[in-house]
Amino acid sequence: SQTIHQWPATLVQPVGSPLSLECTVEGTSNPNLYWYRQAAGRGLQLLFYSVGIGQISSEVPQNLSASRPQDRQFILSSKKLLLSDSGFYLCAWRTGHPEGTDTQYFGPGTRLTVL
């Protein structure tokens, strides 16, 4: 069966510091991968998605970037965090097979607090 991991679970960082959040998926190959942010009291905002290694689509211009160095690894980064980057970050995957389901499966999330 497939599982998705995110770490760290929680993170407290000062303004201006760098960020690296990691997401890995097990039990599947060539998945589509997604990064979402959920700010306090707000819905989910899609930040990035990837359909393959090195292929990143950015949904919202902002202070963040994403990379996919391996098939089942998705990394969210920032060079300098802003207060507005605080939130709950969720990684998700879906099968990359063209005939496969469009269902996305979510990781446990990372709570980021920027002070």
Partner 1 sequence: AQSVTQLDSHVSVSEGTPVLLRCNYSSSYSPSLFWYVQHPNKGLQLLLKYTSAATLVKGINGFEAEFKKSETSFHLTKPSAHMSDAAEYFCVVYSGYNKLIFGAGTRLAVHP
Contact set with partner 1 (CB under 8 A): 32, 42-44, 46, 49, 51, 88, 90, 92, 94, 102-109, 111
Residue 47 tokens read as 């930040």
Q: Virtual CA dihedral for 106, 51, 70, 94, nearest 10 degrees?
A: 30
Residue 49 vs 81, nearer CB to partner 1: 49
How near is the Cβ of 63 to partner 1 at its closest, in Å? 21
How would you classify the pairing of strands 3-7 and 10-13? unpaired
Residue 25 vs 107, nearer CB to partner 1: 107
How near is the Cβ of 34 to partner 1 at its closest, in Å? 8
> Omega of the bond prior to 8 within 30 degrees of 0, cis?
yes
Residue 16 vs 30, nearer CB to partner 1: 30
Q: How far apart are CA 35 and CA 48, in angstroms?
A: 5
How near is the Cβ of 45 to partner 1 at its closest, in Å? 9
At 64, give phi and psi (nearest 5°): -115, 160
How near is the Cβ of 17 to partner 1 at its closest, in Å? 22
